[in-house]
Amino acid sequence: MRTFSSYGPVSTKSNYFVPRTDLLNLTREYLLGKNQEEGGHYITVWASRQCGKTWLLRELARELKKSPLFCAAIISLQQMFDIENPIDIANAILADISEQTERNLPKVCNFIEFQNIFTREHFDKPLILILDEFDALKETAITSLVAVLRNLYIERSRDNKSAFERNIILHGVALIGIRSVLGVENKSGSPFNVQKCLHVPYLTYDEVCEMYHWYEREYGQKIDQDVIDRVFYVTNGQPGLVSWFGELLTERYNEKKTEPIDMKLFNYVYRDALSVLPNNNTINLISKATDPEYKPVILNLFRTNGKTVFEFEDPAFNYLYMHGVISFERDGDFRYAKFPCQFVQEKLFNRFAREIYSVNGKILPDPFIEIDPIINDNEINVRNLMKLYQSYFVENHDYILSQAPRRKDNRIYEATYHFNLYSWLCSFFQTFKEVSINPEFPTGNGKIDLLLKHRKIRIYGLELKSFTNLSELKKSITQAARYGKSLGLSVISLVVFFDTKINDEFRTRFEKDHTDSETGMKVELIMLETF
């Protein structure tokens, strides 16, 4: 019986997997060439971690090793990350090729000798070479190796003979990594300008469904479709996370194998995944996001008053994108940075909320305050709750702002206020066990909602925004109404942060309940001053 595996390349014999036939066929076509007589391409294969790069090329290498027309070698370079001398790496590659192709290749003293190895003197049929974890090497080694590959490609193209008769036998090359070796991080520029670039995407909705339905067929245990849909929603199809949640749901937390895996179990698993379960993938993402060099980019992505233009050539965006910390979305002619999925964004949101506001000061400005008008057995009064938070903020204003990270212009990041409100709500509701708080990020960019579930029955939605101008405020009211409608609510609270004094006329005019004409949804507008 198969299992879900989220650690390293999956086994097609013992793990659930997605065949990814179209991607495999495209990779094969790149390496062998549409017309094999002309030769294949030298390609880079890249994606963020745990997306299936290595699995894809191992499957192809396994197939090619059985071919009577080609020989193939797939070599991991990860263990060579600290080797200073590029020639030592070249000789290690040759030793691996020798073992996998059953040839006795000599050691070399320089890269001219290394280049001359890939000729008919040493091989009797074309070679497909796959180098995994290529970007783990030091820059000097990357530069030296890709220069050789480029020279081989050019020399090969000068020969008019068939690929099966040429002296240069390096038919196709794949360099696998988390970045595309395009010279973005190479200050001298990359000489490897002859390659095609293959990006390994996340899994589609149908592929995620097929993996989980495969489990159902093998074990006879039903997984509610709502659970599968939610797994796809929170992971956006990130292969490592999809398999990790599959492992948690079907093995570690699956105590009642005769009963369906339902949303109650998923919610329990998800809370643990956020707070207590280690996962190498997310640990790596968090370490990258909290690096002082890249942290400002992440904090800026949490703002709700505008989107951040994505530029691949920007070193910070490139680094975070290649490591799977951020992604991008298309909107007309523009590309905007966003978080890759709900789970990653929520992990980072929780991390920064704890990091910036690990201590909240006095949660209640007045310990003798009457709580019933705020929360009781029947309801949560969100407007009164936010009034209490406003009092807390005013009393702890200096402390809160002294803890806040600042932008280059010394202004506080907008997300600071959202982190603080979330942290305060968590502390306030600690004594009310019947209330749970869940952040939601429906778009991955520019939208933060807090869902309060009271007594496991009633849901209250708080959409958080920062004020920019009146026009945007009116748009926010409409957007909040649509979101509340999608949640099946009758009322939703729009909590707007102002970093300036709100005059009485403006407050009287807008701080009230608004009924959206299109949806019929009531939007409770609440204004908070943070200056």
- 524/391 Cα distance (integer angstroms): 19
Same domain? 169 vs 257:
no
Same domain? 380 vs 508:
yes
Q: Which residue has the higher pLDDT, 117 or 448?
A: 117
- Least confident stretch, 142-156, 235-249, 276-290, 390-404: 390-404
Tokens of 519: 């949806």
Answer whether residue 8 shows pLDDT above 80: no
pTM of the full structure: 0.85
> What's the average model confidence in pLDDT over 182-211?
70
Instruction: Supply the DSSP string of 234-251, one letter for each residue.
Output: HHTT-HHHHHHHHHIIII
Q: What integer pLDDT is reported at residue 361 of this predicted model?
A: 59
- Residue 2 counted as domain residue: no
Same domain? 152 vs 267:
no
Q: pLDDT tens for residues 77-118?
A: 989 989 999 999 999 999 999 999 999 999 999 999 999 999
Same domain? 446 vs 472:
yes
- Residue 308 counted as domain residue: no
> For position 147, which CATH number holds?
3.40.50.300
Answer whether residue 221 shows pLDDT above 80: yes
**Residue 321: CB partners within 8 Å, gap ≥ 6?**
48, 310, 312, 327, 328
- Residue 347 counted as domain residue: no
* pLDDT-derived band at 305, boundaries 50, 70, 90: confident
* pLDDT-derived band at 345, boundaries 50, 70, 90: very high
Of the residues 199, 233, 257, the one at which a domain ends: 199
Distances (CA, A) of 439 to 320, 335, 406, 484: 23, 25, 23, 15
* pLDDT-derived band at 400, boundaries 50, 70, 90: confident
- Residue 318 counted as domain residue: no
Tracing tokens 């070796």 back to the chain, one arrives at: 181
Of the residues 236, 262, 277, the one at which a domain ends: 277
- Residue 179 counted as domain residue: yes
Same domain? 176 vs 235:
no
Answer whether residue 431 shows pLDDT above 60: yes
> What's the average model confidence in pLDDT over 115-130?
96
Q: What integer pLDDT is reported at residue 191 of this predicted model?
A: 42
**Residue 412: CB partners within 8 Å, gap ≥ 6?**
401, 404, 405, 406, 499
Instruction: Supply the DSSP string of 444-502, one letter for each residue.
Output: SSS-EEEEEEETTTEEEEEEEEE---HHHHHHHHHHHHHHHHHTT-SEEEEEEEESSPP
Q: Between the CA atoms of 385, 387, 389 and 392, what dihedral angle is there, to the nearest 10 degrees?
A: -140
**Residue 196: CB partners within 8 Å, gap ≥ 6?**
30, 41, 42, 43, 44
* pLDDT-derived band at 192, boundaries 50, 70, 90: very low
Q: Which residue has the higher pLDDT, 203 or 457?
A: 203
Q: DSSP letter at 375?
A: B
Q: Between the CA atoms of 159, 164, 167 and 172, what dihedral angle is there, to the nearest 10 degrees?
A: 80
Q: pLDDT tens for residues 256-270?
A: 999 999 999 999 999
Q: What integer pLDDT is reported at residue 181 of this predicted model?
A: 52
* pLDDT-derived band at 359, boundaries 50, 70, 90: low
- Residue 286 counted as domain residue: no
- Residue 99 counted as domain residue: yes
Q: What integer pLDDT is reported at residue 357 of this predicted model?
A: 72
Same domain? 48 vs 194:
yes
- Residue 309 counted as domain residue: no
Answer whether residue 179 shows pLDDT above 70: no
Answer whether residue 195 shows pLDDT above 80: no
Same domain? 466 vs 515:
yes
Quick check: helix, strand or coil at residue 42? strand
Please tell me the total count of domains within the chain. 3
Burial (CB count within 10 angstroms: exposed 0-12, middle 13-18, buried 19+), residue 328 = buried
Same domain? 189 vs 239:
no
Tracing tokens 């659930």 back to the chain, one arrives at: 16
Same domain? 60 vs 185:
yes
* pLDDT-derived band at 185, boundaries 50, 70, 90: very low
Show the domain range for 66: 21-199
Q: For residue 456, count other CB atoms closer than 10 A to its CB.
A: 9
- 400/419 Cα distance (integer angstroms): 11
> What's the average model confidence in pLDDT over 303-308?
80
> What's the average model confidence in pLDDT over 152-166?
91
* pLDDT-derived band at 289, boundaries 50, 70, 90: very high
Q: What integer pLDDT is reported at residue 194 of this predicted model?
A: 53
Same domain? 189 vs 147:
yes
Element holding 269 (H helix, E strand): helix 263-275
Answer whether residue 190 shows pLDDT above 60: no
Q: What integer pLDDT is reported at residue 189 of this predicted model?
A: 41
Answer whether residue 492 shows pLDDT above 70: yes
Tokens of 335: 């590309």
Same domain? 365 vs 396:
yes
- 300/193 Cα distance (integer angstroms): 34
Same domain? 215 vs 236:
yes
Distances (CA, A) of 351 to 282, 291, 494: 12, 13, 24
* pLDDT-derived band at 183, boundaries 50, 70, 90: very low
Q: pLDDT tens for residues 310-342?
A: 887 788 988 898 888 998 888 888 889 999 999
Q: What integer pLDDT is reported at residue 199 of this predicted model?
A: 84
Q: What integer pLDDT is reported at residue 93 of this predicted model?
A: 97
Mean pLDDT of the chain: 89
Each residue of 331-347: b (16+ CB within 10 Å) or e?
eeeeebbbbbbbbbbbb
Burial (CB count within 10 angstroms: exposed 0-12, middle 13-18, buried 19+), residue 399 = middle
Burial (CB count within 10 angstroms: exposed 0-12, middle 13-18, buried 19+), residue 478 = middle
* pLDDT-derived band at 187, boundaries 50, 70, 90: very low
Tracing tokens 């390096």 back to the chain, one arrives at: 170
Angle ∠(286,287,291) on CA atoms, nearest 5: 110
Of the residues 223, 243, 277, the one at which a domain ends: 277
Instruction: Supply the DSSP string of 152-171, one letter for each residue.
Output: HHHHHHH--S-TTT-SB-EE
